Amino acid sequence: MSAVTRSLVRLYPDAFRERWGSMVEDEARGAGWKSWPNLIAGIADMWLHPAVWPADSPAQRQRRVATMGITVALAAWFLSHLAAEQTGPLPADGVRNGVMHGCTTLLLLGIALVAPRPRPTPAAAVTLSGWALRRLSVPTLLGTVVVVLVHSGVDADASPPTLRSAVIAAWWIALGLGTIQIPRIFTGVGADTVVPPGAGRLRAGVWTLAGASATGGATILGVSLTGGGFHPLGAGIGVSLLLLTGVCAGTLRDLRDLPSAA
């Protein structure tokens, strides 16, 4: 049981474990397996609220919130792109195109507002380039292979079903890996490489991302429930986008309740 408890505590963010990890592990070990549900809930809560992690400076909190904003934006884009590629969840072309284009515009604006600014130094450029190369080389290569195959003149309808499935799977894997790895670039570089956005810009960016997720989620969910039949995939995407809106709302509340991070 102590091994399970120790493994669960390790899932907390590093900043939390450095400050309170030993105390949490001692209390959980004393309670035994009954502490596991609370540990799991605490892990999820901590990862959803990076602004409340122990920090050495307001800038460190702001950089964590910026990374959270980028993660939410990319997850929302991935889900919206998945919905746009399906004929079931959004059967009306006008609705699909209008909502998706509008949400994409808001997501891009939100990313521009929350993204840390690279420092204008050669060392910062080299560091960012190195992290981007390590994190994005695999999804970029995989996506490039898919694009080359699709535009090579091969008749998709005449291709073996296994090949078509593999190409589609590779495309979505590339998009998913890119969505995961881009935020990891900003968690890897330090304050000497990027400058986090100020509190005002962060709030504006998170509000914009919340609006994009709420609009896209509500529209996709509504169409999936009423647009000529129930579409499970569309409903799941809509609910997921609304959950991302809740993450944004929680982040805004954390920023409001932490004047030291302003």
Question: 């998170």: which residue's tokens?
Answer: 206
CA 180 remoteness from chain centre? 7
Report residue 156's pLDDT band, with 50, 70 and 90 as the boundaries. Answer: low
As a whole-number percent, the residues of the chain with pLDDT over 70 amount to 88
Residues pairing with 195 in the sheet? 117
- The pLDDT of residue 213 is 93
Report residue 22's pLDDT band, with 50, 70 and 90 as the boundaries. Answer: confident
Report residue 160's pLDDT band, with 50, 70 and 90 as the boundaries. Answer: low
Each residue's pLDDT tens digit, 173-223: 999 999 989 988 888 888 889 998 988 899 999 999 999 999 989 888 888
Q: Decide: 89 and 83 in contact? Cβ < 8 Å.
A: yes
Each residue's pLDDT tens digit, 125-137: 999 999 999 999 9
Report residue 245's pLDDT band, with 50, 70 and 90 as the boundaries. Answer: very high
| Residue from 107, 128, 135, 125 nearest 212 by CA | 107
Could you give the angle at the alpha carbon of 167 between the alpha carbons of 102 and 141, nearest 5°?
Answer: 80
The average confidence (pLDDT) of the chain is 84
- The pLDDT of residue 122 is 92
Report residue 154's pLDDT band, with 50, 70 and 90 as the boundaries. Answer: low
Which H/E stretch holds residue 163? helix 161-188
167 burial level (CB within 10 Å; 0-12, 13-18, 19+): middle
Residue 261 has pLDDT above 50, yes or no: no
Residue 79, token pair as written in the block: 């889900």
Residue 132, token pair as written in the block: 């981007």
Residue 101 has pLDDT above 90, yes or no: no
